């Protein structure tokens, strides 16, 4: 599932982390569903159907929803010749199928990849990114994004993030039910149910959030490494990272806030300065990414 495709280098560290993350997420999934069934045993078939339906919907439609929410619009080679040309060259170099190519009309300089598999994968760049970066820097960014597709960690992150979304929904529903039921007499253990479900949901949400954040940070480093080794120009990727991160401070705060919910997909997180959110970022610090690229550049120079 997690093996690299084409000429992108394999990353056993990423593979093992994805396997462990999926195993632990599965255990949390069992805990959450078990708590729901124990609390509402009289309607357990409905719980199984509802949770299963949400999982299928999240897995099947999450990439389309994310792409739509970020304004991604599939473009033809005639509409975006530079973007298509870069993707064509990288796919030929990596020996991987060409994904759908899209652009988002946004001044936030960024790029992202979505898709459950290589067959329905999409790579998108914003107009802000294409306007600000040089061609070799754009190729560095796109090589990074294509490595996410090749390693299939986009699909794993989609599945892994589902549990946190579900736990968050259950917490809000249970708390809302508790507030709306305040003042009513406790009947048939309703009070206990309204207490247990939020507690279990909060626990599941916190653990799943931490697991996905740890995986996400490593997969970004892995994509930097794979992308730089494929093109043989880690300096171009480092330059793109520096430019994109530096330009974030010049983007209006309202635009950054719109983009922040999708940071896990982005090439670089959309943050305006140092905030508490950066401590829980889905990406490793810029300094660490640049340090790794510098080491790769030194290694390639010795060959």
Whether residue 225 contacts residue 292, with contact meaning beta carbons closer than 8 Å, is answered with yes
CB-neighbour burial class of residue 255 (10 A; exposed 0-12, middle 13-18, buried 19+): middle
Known active-site residue 78: no
> Any binding-site annotation on 220?
yes
Whether residue 175 contacts residue 196, with contact meaning beta carbons closer than 8 Å, is answered with no
* Nearest CA-CA partner of 111 in 138, 76, 134: 138
> Any binding-site annotation on 299?
no
Strands 72-74 and 100-104: antiparallel
Spell out the residues 6+ positions from residue 143 whose beta carbon is closer than 8 angstroms to its own. Answer: 90, 94, 226, 227, 228, 230, 231, 237
> Any binding-site annotation on 148?
yes
* Nearest CA-CA partner of 104 in 265, 223, 232, 238: 265
Greatest CA span in the chain, whole angstroms? 76
Query: Of the listed 78, 136, 139, 145, which one is catalytic?
Result: 145
CB-neighbour burial class of residue 89 (10 A; exposed 0-12, middle 13-18, buried 19+): middle
* Residues recognised as catalytic: 145
Q: Pick out the residues of the known binding site for Zn(2+).
A: 144, 148, 220
């Amino acid at each position: 599932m997690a093996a690299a495709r084409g000429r992108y280098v394999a990353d056993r560290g990423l593979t093992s982390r994805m396997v462990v993350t999926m195993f632990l997420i599965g255990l949390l999934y069992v805990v959450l569903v078990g708590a729901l069934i124990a609390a509402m045993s009289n309607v357990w078939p409905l719980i199984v159907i509802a949770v299963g339906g949400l999982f299928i919907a999240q897995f099947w439609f999450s990439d389309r929803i994310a792409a739509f929410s970020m304004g991604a619009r599939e473009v033809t080679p005639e509409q975006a010749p530079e973007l298509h040309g870069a993707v064509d060259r990288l796919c030929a170099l990596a020996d991987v199928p060409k994904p759908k190519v899209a652009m988002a009309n946004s001044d936030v300089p960024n790029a992202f990849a979505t898709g459950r598999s290589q067959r329905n994968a999409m790579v998108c760049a914003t107009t802000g990114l294409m306007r600000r970066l040089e061609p070799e820097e754009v190729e560095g960014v796109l090589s990074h994004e294509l490595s996410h597709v090749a390693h299939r960690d986009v699909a794993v992150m989609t599945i892994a993030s589902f549990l946190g979304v579900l736990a968050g929904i259950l917490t809000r529903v249970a708390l809302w039910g508790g507030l709306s039921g305040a003042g009513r007499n406790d009947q048939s253990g309703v009070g206990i149910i309204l207490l247990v479900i939020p507690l279990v949901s909060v626990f599941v949400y916190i653990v799943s959030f931490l697991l996905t954040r740890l995986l996400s940070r490593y997969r970004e480093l892995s994509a930097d490494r794979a992308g730089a080794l494929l093109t043989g120009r880690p300096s171009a990727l480092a330059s793109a990272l520096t430019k994109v991160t530096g330009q974030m401070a010049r983007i209006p705060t309202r635009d950054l806030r719109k983009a922040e919910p999708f940071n896990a997909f982005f090439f670089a997180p959309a943050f305006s300065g140092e905030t508490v959110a950066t401590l829980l970022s889905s990406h490793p610090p810029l300094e660490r990414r640049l340090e790794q690229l510098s080491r790769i550049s030194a290694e390639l120079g010795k060959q």
